[in-house]
Structure formats: C-alpha cells, structure tokens
Amino acid sequence: MTELLQKNIAAHISLSNPETEAFCNLFQHEIIKKRSFLLREGEVCKFEGFVIKGLFRVYHIDKDGFEQILYFAIENWWITDIDSFTNETPSQLFIEALEDSEVLLISKKDKEFAYSNMPEIEKLFRVMTQKTHVALQRRMIDNLSKTAESRYIEFSEKYPQLIQRLSNIQVAAYLGITNVFLSNIRKKIALKK
Amino acid sequence: MTELLQKNIAAHISLSNPETEAFCNLFQHEIIKKRSFLLREGEVCKFEGFVIKGLFRVYHIDKDGFEQILYFAIENWWITDIDSFTNETPSQLFIEALEDSEVLLISKKDKEFAYSNMPEIEKLFRVMTQKTHVALQRRMIDNLSKTAESRYIEFSEKYPQLIQRLSNIQVAAYLGITNVFLSNIRKKIALKK
DNA sequence: TCAAAACATTAAACTAGTTTAATAAAGCAA
DNA sequence: TTGCTTTATTAAACTAGTTTAATGTTTTGA
C-alpha cells in the first residue's frame, strides 16, 4: 500500500528502511469518490496527504464565485492546505477529487510525533516545502510575464499526461482565464498546425 | 549588530540565548550601496541573507527584457534565491539594493553546519519556508482573481511604509502591470476621494 | 435508457490593460 | 549649477482577455 510513498520519500532524503516503514505506518489509507471533498473552505485541515491513485484539485472560490485552482495533484503528489494544517486556522481552500481516488493521510499529531522522534523527517518536509515553493515562484513569474497562450502551451508540454485528464474548465481555472478564451486559444493553436 | 536577527529568530522558534548567539555568529555583515547587486542572473547564490537596513528587490528579467518583481525585502526580511542556493544551480534572479543597505549573510557551508549541529535550525527554516510559501500562495490566488486596481489598493494597505519607498515603476513590476496603467489607476483612485 | 446537467465551441460586444509617444518634473553626477 | 537620466503623467490607438448568449455534444445519475 505504501510502496509509492516509500519511493517518494527516498527521492527526497536518504532514510533507512525501518525508519521509512515506521514513518509510512503513521499514514491512514482512504478512498475518496469522484466529486467528494477532502477539505472544504472553513474547515481546519487535519491532514497532510499523499495521492496513490486518482486526481485532485486544490482551489479557492473568490467573493464573486469564481474558482482559482492553486494546483492539481495526481499519483505521487502531496496535498494539503499547509496554512490551515500548520496554524490550525480555518481553510480558505477546497480539495476535491476529480476522479475516484485513494490517498494516504497523516494527522497533525502523528506528524508532530515524527518531527520529534525522527530528525530526518523534519528535513524531508523542509526539502519538499522548498521544492514546492520554488515551483510556485516560477509559476508566479510566468503568470506575471507570459500570455495565457504561452502559459497554456507550456502547461500542456510540462504535464501532457495530466492535461488529458482535465476538462477545459479546470485548465482555464488553473491558468487564470475563462474557458471561452481557452477555447479560442486551442482553436488558434490547432489552425497553426 | 545581530539584535534584529535574534528577535526575528525568536519570533519563529524558541531557542536558548547561547544557541541563538552561536547561530548569529555564523553571519557576515555586509554593506551594499544603492543600485548594486547581491546576486545577478547566472551566478550561483552563495548566501542566505537577512536585511538589517535598507531595501532590496528580487526580480527576474524575461526574454523580452521585462522585469518581474518576485518580492521586496526591507529591514527584518530574509533574502535569497532559495532554488539557486539549495541546488547550487545558476540563478535566474537578480537581487538589487534600491537603497543603501546592510545585510547579514550566511554561507551554505555554515548553514549546513547549523543544520547538522543545531536541530532547531532545521525547524526554523522549515517554519520560515512554510510561511513564505503560504504568503506566495495567497499572492498567486490574488493575481489569478483580482484586478490590478484592487491588487494595488491591497498592496498599499498591507505595506503602507514600503510603498512610500518605492517608485511606481517598481510597484508596477510587482503587480504585473505597466507603470502607465498604474498611473491611470492612481488617478482614478485620487478622483474617487 | 432517458432526461438533466455539464461541457466545448463559436460569435459579437465589451473592458482591462498595453504600447508608443510626448511633456513636465525630480534626482543625480560632474 | 548645469545638463543628463530617470520618473510620473496623459492621450490615443491597440490587443488580450471577458461577458453573455446560443448551439450542439458528452456525461451522468436515477
């Protein structure tokens, strides 16, 4: 059940097999049906999660009712609202399964336990947080400097397997444009070829 | 010299006085003149810095020569290119002093030393990275969902002391708009009052 | 399996933000 | 102090992206 998680950890830090297993045993397996929620706005996020099957979107709904997607998570990705989880404050985010999915969840208490007893775990999450931060910095720069068309092309090229599993509505909400405009972009690209 | 840094650390984690001092002693004091650079694109970022005086901007120049500002740093803020520093890869960023400034810098070697010998320091940087990540997530959502006008208003309200020290050109590069359009926004706001 | 809901596309009018250029004001180096 | 560079403002033409609405297609759930 935790093979994928074990591999994921090994990709970030070196940790002995027994320690890796001990840490993985702190996770609970959960099955999440398509269109159901791991987290809703206003709830305190009680978990940090690792996707072993399926697809999630992490998004915000603004005061005008528009959805902005912060990120998607497929197999081998982590999901949480790090703000709500860390500070135990009500979340401003929704985490929703876009496909029938399976996750491994660790509670705050068990994560604290790991931090206290396994110094390498502190490093694991520092390294992971740094990596996601760097990725978000790049995305921020792209959003500041690039047109929607090139953001779409680059997203398609970077995550070709992901984009096939997403509706245009989801992709548009990630890129920060309307699905109507995304349709125009797609048509324009198709005509070029 | 390191009083401000000591206070900053205390705001994130609890650390004994001797340990705090030992850690702070790993930092080098540097004076950076206005318009000079702490880091240029292509260089490997050799430091993690803490501003004790002055003002910096951290920015990227895209292929068309436009500048996007990732963030500003004034007194009591940290600056680095975390990507370049951590992975020892050439930076895509510039870090430039916008005023005569002073910083405390720690090298990678000394930071690694701290990580190895002071477990609390690992936690300090995990916590700080988390906080900056949460702030960037919020900014990402704002950029996806809000007009330039409301982003300007909110930036002005959130950092009133900072905006006075910045030219409109810098503010516009942070907001992701042209300085011409920022001028229009400012006029529109002034007329409303 | 059928009706309802969600989705993708297109068109047309609209608006937020850009571009270029001109002008005046402020800051800076010699 | 002067001249040079940077900055802020304004105008006018332009473009990227939105809005609303209509149409056909696909998915879904009972």
Pairing mode of beta strands B55-61, B94-97: antiparallel
Which of the two residues, A113 and A122, has the higher pLDDT score? Answer: A113
For A155-192, the pLDDT digits (tens) are 999 999 999 999 999 999 999 999 999 999 999 999 87
Two tokens, residue A151: 């953001």
Distance, in Å, from the CA atom of A109 to the CA atom of B144, rounded to the nearest integer, reads 34
Please name the residues in contact with B98: beta carbons below 8 A apart, sequence gap of 6 or more. B34, B35, B54, B55, B56, B57, B72, B165, B166, B170
Residue B40 Cα distances to A66, A140, B72, B128, angstroms: 38, 19, 16, 24
Instruction: Kindly state the average pLDDT of the residues B117-136.
Output: 91
Residue B65's pLDDT is: 87
Fold designation for B3-117: Jelly Rolls (2.60.120)
Considering only CB atoms, B126 lies closest to which of A129, A137, A139, namely A129
Closest A-chain CA to B59: A141
What's the pLDDT at A7? 97
Flag whether pLDDT at B122 surpasses 90.
no
pLDDT in tens, B72-118: 999 999 999 999 999 999 999 999 999 999 999 999 999 999 999 99
pLDDT band at A148 (very low <50, low <70, confident <90, very high): very high
Instruction: Please tell me the predicted confidence (pLDDT) of residue A193.
Output: 62
pLDDT band at A122 (very low <50, low <70, confident <90, very high): confident
Mean pLDDT of all residues in B39-51: 97
Neighbours of A141 (CB within 10 A): 19
Q: Which residues of chain B are within 8 Å of residue A83 when distances are taken between CB atoms?
A: 134, 137
Mean pLDDT of A82-93: 95
CA–CA distance, B189 with B167 (Å, rounded to integer): 17
Residues of A in contact with B125 (CB under 8 A): 126
pLDDT at B193 over 90: no
Say yes or no to pLDDT of A98 above 80.
Answer: yes
The residue-averaged pLDDT of A102-107 equals 98
Q: Is B51 exposed, middle or buried (0-12, 13-18, 19+ CB in 10 A)?
A: buried
- The residues on B that touch A, with CB distances below 8 Å, are 60, 62, 64, 66, 68, 70, 82-83, 86, 115, 119, 122-123, 125-126, 129-130, 132-134, 136-137, 139-141, 143-146, 176
Structure tokens at A33: 């049906």
Residue of B nearest to A123 (CA): B122
Show Cβ contacts of residue B133 under 8 Å, excluding neighbours closer than 6 positions: A82, A129, A132, A133, A136
Lookup result for tokens 């700080």: B128
Q: What pLDDT score was predicted for residue A64?
A: 85
User: How far does chain A reach from its first CA to its final CA, in angstroms?
Assistant: 44
Mean pLDDT estimate for chain B: 95
Q: CA B178 → C1' D10, Å?
A: 14
- Per the CB < 8 A criterion, the answer to whether B127 and B79 are in contact is no
Cβ–Cβ gap B145/A119 under 8 Å? no
Give the mean model confidence (pLDDT) for residues B153-176.
Answer: 96
Residues 6+ positions from B7 with CB-CB distance below 8 Å: none
What mean pLDDT do residues A12-35 have? 95
**Mean pLDDT in residue range B123-138:** 92
Average pLDDT over residues B178-184: 97
Closest CB from B68, B86, B136 relative to A145: B68
pLDDT band at B157 (very low <50, low <70, confident <90, very high): very high
A180 touches strand D (CB under 7 A): yes
The answer to whether the beta carbons of residues A173 and A58 sit under 8 Å apart is no
Our measurement of CA B77 to C1' C19, in angstroms, reads 36
The domains of chain B are located at 3-117
Q: Nearest to residue A98, comparing CAs of A173, A149, A184?
A: A173
Assess whether A181 (CB) lies less than 7 A from strand D.
yes
Query: What is the distance between the alpha carbons of residues A40 and A90, in angstroms, rounded to a whole number?
Result: 9
* CB-proximal positions of chain C, under 7 Å: 6-12, 16-21
pLDDT of residue A8 exceeding 70, the answer is yes
Task: Name chain A contacts of B136, Cβ cutoff 8 Å.
Answer: 133, 136-137, 140
pLDDT band at B191 (very low <50, low <70, confident <90, very high): confident
Question: Does A168 contact strand D, using a CB cutoff of 7 Å?
Answer: no
Number of H helices, E strands in chain A: 9, 8
Residue B57 in this model has a pLDDT that exceeds 90:
yes
Distance B65 CA to C24 C1' (A): 27
pLDDT digits (tens, 9 = 90+) for B8-42: 999 999 999 999 999 999 999 999 999 999 999 99
Question: Mutation test of the interface with chain B: which of A126, A127, A143, A170, choosing the one with the most B Cβ atoms within 10 A?
Answer: A126
pLDDT at A63 over 90: no
Residues B64, B80: Cα–Cα separation, whole Å: 24
